[in-house]
Amino acid sequence: MTYCPLASDRAPCLFIISLIACCAFAACGTSSGEGPREGEQDEDVMPALDVTIDDADLGDTPEPPGDTAQPPRPDTTPPGPDTTTPGPDVDPECGGFEEPCCGNSRCDGTLVCEGGLCVAPPRVSLCEEAPSCFAAAESTTDAQVTIGSGAAPGLSGGPVADSAFTLRQITLYTDTTFSPGIINSVEVRSNGATFGGLEFRGEEWSFYANLDLFLDLDAQFVGAVSQPFNFDVAGGGCFATEANRIVGDLVECGDAWPEGAVAPSFVEYGVNGNEVRIILVVTREIIASTLPANIRQFAGFVLAGDLPILLSFARDP
């Protein structure tokens, strides 16, 4: 016990008592240097000593100095500009056949969004009896291949009469298909076997097109790429015309479509003298499947949209 003979000596005495208490508390820590976890009481740690002394009659004692450490200064450096270049709004994991619908219930090509998934539009046969399912005559001459500018033209429909036609030209509209800044240029050429035919007989029709193409791309980070791009489309059955559309079950009499593609329930068409034109829409998924592996993984950035193809059939002489 510390003896303080004089009241004037009590302030130093308080300091000595506090010092002894602190040392006693510190000596009871664990030897490992780790304190008890929160919510646990270490068995080796004694409860803290109560060293409170009634100093009402001790007079004024100086307040212990506070924590003089300066708080960390806030970071006043202004943020730099956002240099991230957003890619096109294309999600390769949505919009395709039996894939989730994209934003605003959007699907690729002629697919429709039902129950959150993209599915084929409903098909209704227009036949009162079983169709004859004839095959359209095919041309033997390689069709001309061109690239159009802007969007595919709107077709005006027109009267349809019994006639046979052969494929003479196809025009691809690539302006909205490939992402600008990533694909610098696109060229398309035939590989020598681009042909097809179309025929109307009464209330039935038949069509076929073999597209034997090469895509020549100049990609920003890859360079020149030349890639085959070929597939068949075929169909037919009973049909009807509504404005500028040929409607019906287009694959009632055959189903030759690219893997992963779904035949639409209509195609836009136009008649101009001895020529019939129809538009097919090739989805991004089909295009991506033809790209080389080093580009396919970036298909969501490379491809900005689908590919409309205008097929021009001329009446046989």
**Does 196 share its domain with 247?**
yes
Work out the average pLDDT over 243-257.
Answer: 84
Tell me whether residue 1 is in a domain.
Answer: no
Quick check: 171 and 309 in contact, CB under 8 A? yes
Q: What pLDDT is attached to residue 92? A: 58
- Compute how many other C-beta atoms are within 10 angstroms of the C-beta atom of residue 115: 6
Q: Are residues 286 and 173 in the same domain?
A: yes
DSSP summary character for residue 289: H
Single-letter amino acid, residue 75 = D
User: Does residue 12 form part of some domain?
Assistant: no
pLDDT at position 38 over 90:
no
Same domain, 189 and 98: no
The answer to whether residue 134 is domain-embedded is yes
**Residues 110, 263: Cα–Cα separation, whole Å:** 8
SS3 295: helix
Is pLDDT larger for residue 150 or for residue 261? 150
Query: Same domain for 255 and 136?
Result: yes
What are the helix and strand counts (H, E) for the chain? 4, 13
Q: Is the pLDDT of residue 27 over 50?
A: no
Q: Is the separation of the CB atoms in 228 and 213 below 8 Å?
A: yes
Task: Looking at the structure, tell me whether residues 231 and 105 fall in a common domain.
Answer: no
Identify whether residues 273 and 184 lie together within a single domain: yes
Domain limit, last residue, from 82, 103, 121: 121
Based on the fold, state whether residues 202 and 241 are members of the same structural domain.
Answer: yes
SS3 (DSSP) at 270: strand
Range with the poorest average pLDDT among 82-96, 160-174, 248-262:
82-96
Q: Report yes or no on 60 lying in a domain.
A: no
pLDDT surpasses 50 at 23: no
Single-letter code of the amino acid located at 112: V
Element holding 311 (H helix, E strand)? strand 307-315
For residues 210 and 193, the answer to whether their CB atoms sit within 8 Å is yes
Q: Band of the pLDDT at 134, cuts 50, 70, 90? A: very high
Sequence-distant (≥ 6) Cβ neighbours of residue 243 within 8 angstroms: 157
- pLDDT greater at residue 126 or residue 62: 126
| Mean pLDDT of all residues belonging to the chain | 74
Final residue of a domain: which of 121, 143, 178?
A: 121
Q: pLDDT at position 259, please?
A: 66
Give yes or no: residues 109 and 157 share one domain.
Answer: no
Are 101 and 166 in a shared domain? Answer: no
pLDDT cut 70: percent of the chain above it: 68
Q: Which domain holds residue 103?
A: 90-121
Per residue in 202-217, pLDDT (tens digit) is 999 999 999 999 988 8
Highest mean pLDDT among 37-46, 106-115, 210-219: 210-219
Q: Are 170 and 309 in contact (CB under 8 A)?
A: yes
In this structure, is residue 275 part of a structural domain?
yes
Residue 77 covered by a domain: no
Q: Is residue 69 part of a domain?
A: no
* pLDDT surpassing 50 at residue 274: yes
Q: What tokens appear for 296 in the block?
A: 């396919």
* pLDDT tens-digit map of 70-109: 555 544 444 444 433 333 344 557 887 778 999 888 887 7
Contact 195, 138 (CB under 8 A): yes
Sorting pLDDT into bands at 50, 70 and 90, what band is 60? very low
Among 95-104, 236-245, 247-256, 280-289, the range of highest mean pLDDT? 236-245
The predicted model gives 186-197 an average pLDDT of 93
The answer to pTM > 0.95 is: no
- Residue for token digits 């004859």? 132
Give the Cα separation of 312 and 207 in Å (integer). Answer: 12
Report how far residue 167's alpha carbon sits from residue 22's, in angstroms, rounded to the nearest whole number: 99
17 DSSP 8-state letter: H
Q: Does any domain span residue 96?
A: yes
Whether residue 140 sits in one domain with residue 272: yes
Examine the fold and report which residue of 121, 137, 170 is the final residue of a domain before the chain moves on: 121
Domain shared by 136 and 108, yes or no:
no
Confidence of residue 245 (pLDDT cuts 50, 70, 90): very high
Of residues 305 and 5, the one with the higher pLDDT is: 305
Are residues 283 and 200 part of one domain?
yes
* Residue 134, C-beta contacts closer than 8 angstroms, at least 6 positions apart: 199, 201, 204, 206, 236, 253
Q: Can you give the pLDDT at residue 317?
A: 67
CA distances from 306 to 58, 109, 232 (A): 90, 7, 17
> Among candidates 178, 182, 179, which has minimal Cα distance to 215?
178
Indicate the number of domains in the chain: 2
